Amino acid sequence: MKNIFSVEGKVALVTGGSSGIGLMIARGFVANGVKTYISSRKAQVCDEVAAKLSEHGTCLSLPGDLSEMSAIDAVSAEILKREGKLDILVNNAGATWGAPIDEFPESGWDKVMDLNVKSIFFLTKALLPALRAAASAEDPARVINIGSIDGLHVNPIEHFPYSAAKAGVHHLTRALARRLAPENITVNAIAPGPFESKMMAETLRNYGDQIAASNPRGRIGTAEDIAGTAIYLASRAGAYTNGVILPVDGGIAGCS
């Protein structure tokens, strides 16, 4: 019981790990002894963040635009070449696009769907050899997908593909969990509410006080909230949790 939340010695990849929720999770992993690879579209930023996190543990940069199949192939090939096995995959990279319904462009729809849904499936598929190599009945490999409470309730903001994509992530999580559990790979999703991030920055600037006040917990999320949830799912404590969509939102989705 003493070490049931330990993740020390594991190897993880966190996509979108150079900012926002991905960075919060990556920082939590690194601080708790996980050899953590981070990936993001901007190579220089990814390198700089990895170097900064390496002051507290081991963090390595694998930049790539995961909305492109070529980047998915390159990142997964690099993991297989360097490690051979992967204990934890956090599919966090994502994008949003807001526009009035009468003006919504196809390019915005495709960008959000490609990165938020398509890339999760194909990166997980590409990394199955590494996940299988790490998996055992006692300590399964873990896939943690980052969804959103916007996939659980209707947000009045007009970012239609984002809400649809996150609902898709949640159901894809269940489908993958059913398929991969017999191979000792668990698949779960975290559905965050409001957290400090680049994606949420403008909304929090304009409505942050109102959002916090309307939250049953009276605040927005912190790095410890999201990192702790990811560590739970990746540790022995979460080894029997599979196919779950776990809101981390202070009660917004569950209490409304």
Dihedrals φ, ψ of 200, to 5°? -95, 0
Query: For residue 187, how many C-alpha atoms fall within 13 Å in the half-sphere facing its CB?
Result: 25
DSSP 116: I
Residues counted in the chain: 256
**Rounded distance between C-alpha atoms, residue 21 and residue 44, angstroms:** 19
Place of tokens 């540790």: 235
The beta strand positions in the chain, using DSSP E, are: 11-15, 35-39, 59-61, 88-91, 141-146, 185-192, 245-248
Distance CA 30, CA 49 (A): 12
Q: Give me 29's structure tokens.
A: 């992993």
Q: Which helix (H) or strand (E) holds 179?
A: helix 160-180
Active site residues: 162
Classify the phi-psi angles of 84: left when phi > 0, otherwise alpha if psi is within -120 to 50, otherwise beta. left
Question: Which positions ≥6 away from 55 have C-beta within 8 Å?
Answer: none
